[in-house]
Amino acid sequence: MNPSAPAAPPNTPPKKSRVLSARRAILLATTIAGLGAAALVIAPGLNLSAGYPAALAQNLTEQAHKLQAPIGFADIVEKVKPAVISVRVKVDGGSQTTGVGNNEIPPGLREFFRRFGMPDMPNGQGLPNGQGMPEGHGHNIITGQGSGFFISADGYAVTNNHVVEKAESVKVTTDDGKIHDAKVIGTDPRTDLALIKVDGAPFPYVNLSDKAPRIGDWVLAVGNPFGLGGTVTAGIVSARGRDIGASAYDDFIQIDAPVNKGNSGGPSFDTEGNVIGVNTAIFSPSGGSVGIAFDIPADTVKSVITQLKDHGSVTRGWIGVQIQPVTQDIADSLGLKKAEGALVAEPQTDSPAAKAGVEAGDVITAVDGNPVKDARDLAKKIGAMPPKTSVKLAVLHKGAEKTITLTLGEMPTPKEASAETPSENGNVDLSKLGLTLAPASRVAGAGSEGVVVTGIESSGIAADHGFSTGDVILEVAGKSVSTPADVRKLIASVRTEGKRTVLVRVKKGDNTRFVALPVGKG
């Protein structure tokens, strides 16, 4: 502006370019809301109070200030951080345990779990994979660090089962630096959850979320990585419903907020300060965060912790079947329109399912009218019900739909499966499939039913579909087999019908499953 320019005469209407009409003000408000802070940068000297009603001007000004305010998580952290605790345990290494973060984990999943617990490092020496150091009378005392959080003012707190399992003593450090003794109320290895109790209430606590997060939502992880305590990291929900093979109840939330050794059992929060999940596993060949971590969902935590608090353990409904997913190949073999439901590989002897008439080859499609998406969904639905509950199963049996009513049993302790590799005897070659078979009755230790895989081509069709030496083929196309000739005959029959796959029932050790084996054209 030229300071020597003459002032405008009194009552002279202002220039149109200097005044905002009410209509233009509303349009400007919409623009600011849509463009955010960028709109303010474009017009830094704009007078928002000129030319339209004061109320609208005030609202616009407030919105502009909000847009200019810094974005962060400090308010949420200030609210939730006091409820997060560091958990320190001591375990007698003389017992059959592999240390913090390893207990009850299948060998194929060591990369997920083995480095998630945080062993102490006395005298500067690391304790790899939970190995302890001698402490009197030949015993190894393993000390480890984890995380947890209070869920009530009277001192109940959640952590991971693999943090406190078999612990001789548990101590927690609260956000104010105070150390308390803790008692393990109950653990659940299947979901890797534990409930502990600390005396000295009241304690600050947080709530478990009532709603599932969406993929892309912000998430904050708070915990005790590397024993540092009170560490906050941020990221997003990367995926939901992850199955990493830890148990039949896998339904993990995947997040990319950095979590490391010692974060086990710590909470992940949404932007409202509610717990959406419990940090339980990371995928990391190096042992540090690579942006892939897994949380137990809040709804699972609620149901498990309630039982642990009331009973000290978790009981689950059980129907007693080995199940597997219905792949598209299996669906085609059974004549199903969609690859949905849970395929029964084997009903266990004297189980509720066997007594009610469920048979191998049946596909369970619904429980009490609720559709079953896959094998994992069936396990979750049945496991969420208490024993002695009466349920109705919708079953596809040999192409016909029927309803089976049964009473749930109680989930037993899992058994370790074992397998024996039989010797070769009386071999018959099925070269097109890459299989060499023999009657089970002629192979020591194989039993009297089915035919045994005594040889397999590593590059053959059967090997590609999971067959291995020692497997016992019990059925082909729904019919029992006792000789390799039976297998050939039934495969030929399937080809004659114009089908490209045949459903084979296979026993491996104590487990039975179905395999859709491609047989091509006749």
**Residues with active-site annotation:** 162, 192, 264
The DSSP line for 359-426 is -TT-EEEEETTEEP-SHHHHHHHHHTSPTT-EEEEEEEETTEEEEEEEE-EEPPPPPPP----PPP-S
Distance CA 195, CA 156 (A): 7
DSSP 8-class letter at 121 = -
Q: Which amino acid is residue 441, in one-letter code? A: S
Q: Which amino acid is residue 495, in one-letter code? A: R
Long-range contacts of 481-488 (CB under 8 A, 24+ apart): 481/450, 481/451, 482/439, 482/440, 482/441, 482/449, 482/450, 482/451, 483/428, 483/439, 483/451, 484/428, 484/430, 484/437, 484/438, 484/439, 484/451, 485/428, 486/451, 487/430, 487/437, 487/451, 488/430
Distance CA 381, CA 316 (A): 10
- Strand-strand pairing, 409-410 and 428-430: unpaired
Name the residue with tokens 């071999």. 427
Residue from 316, 336, 326, 320 nearest 381 by CA: 316
- Strand-strand pairing, 252-255 and 193-198: unpaired
CA dihedral 100, 103, 109, 110 (to 10 degrees): 40
Q: How many CB atoms lie within 10 A of CB 8?
A: 10
Task: Identify whether the C-beta of residue 296 lies closer than 8 Å to the C-beta of residue 388.
Answer: no
Distance CA 371, CA 407 (A): 19
b/e code 204-242 from CB counts within 10 Å (16+ = b): bbbebbeeebeeeeebbbbbbbebebbbbbbbebbebee
Task: Identify whether the C-beta of residue 239 lies closer than 8 Å to the C-beta of residue 252.
Answer: no
